[in-house]
Structures are given as structure tokens and as C-alpha cells.
Amino acid sequence: MLSLYTSVSDMVNQGSDATDPEFTNIYISNIGNGDSCAQAAQAGHISVRFVGQADDADGTTLANSYLSQNSAKGVGMGIFREDNTPVAINKDTLPVPDATGKTVFGIQAVKLTNQAVSPGTLYGRLIIQIERL
């Protein structure tokens, strides 16, 4: 579970690079030296895709699933690479770069395109899908 605490003034616009994402690591534990998964990772053939409910603006961020009176409006959860560039949910992938099985990604609240922002609770469910390319 990841908790984000931010103010509207600290949010970036949807599609922009992140400014202060919460980074986390993904470890694929059964990738080991010399096995076929390790070889595939080193050759750039293993990646992760982020799957979840896309927002109703550009469809590139994780939508807010919290649907109550206190929910944030006009806000989504952007997923970002380690260099702060955005990753489109359900579309883009991040490579698993080597036999360590480690990939880093960040999450930051973003202002959705052409929507008014109001503060509140932001919640989303994200599936991290391992893909062999």
C-alpha cells in the first residue's frame, strides 16, 4: 500500500513529468543468474505493465476509485519512470533491465486534463503485470 499526501499546488498536469513522485521498487524474485528469465531480462524481453481503471480525461493515469462525498475530483494517480517521465496506464511498459529482477517506478497525484480540481481522498487499485516480450 502506498499513501500519497499532497496539495493541489504541488500537483503536475496530466502528461507532464513528475516533480516529487513516491518511488517504489518491484522485485521479480525468481529471476536468477543463468536461467531463462535472467537471460530474457538481460536481453530486454521482460517488462512490467501497470493495469487498472484509467481516468476519464486522457486515459493515461490511474483513476480515483474513491466515490464518496469526500473524494478528490479532477485528480488521478500518474505513474512515472525513474527519470520522472510518465507511463501510460494499460499501455506503456517498464523494462526489467537485468538479472536482479528490480524495476523502479513512481506515483504522484496529477491534475486531469480539462477538469476542475477539488481536494479530497484519492484511492486506486493497480495490478502490476509481468510480461515476456
Ranges of each domain in the chain: 11-132
The 10s digit of each residue's pLDDT in 15-28 is 999 999 999 998 87
Nearest-angstrom CA–CA distance, 133 and 79: 21
Q: Which residue has the higher pLDDT, 125 or 102?
A: 125
Among 25, 106, 13, which residue's Cα sits nearest to residue 55? Answer: 13
What pLDDT sits at residue 46? 86
Query: Residue 34: what residue type?
Result: G
The 10s digit of each residue's pLDDT in 1-20 is 566 778 888 899 999 999 99
Q: What is the CATH code of the structural domain delimited by 11-132?
A: 2.60.40.1090
What pLDDT sits at residue 106? 96
Contact between 14 and 57 under an 8 Å Cβ cutoff? The reply is: yes
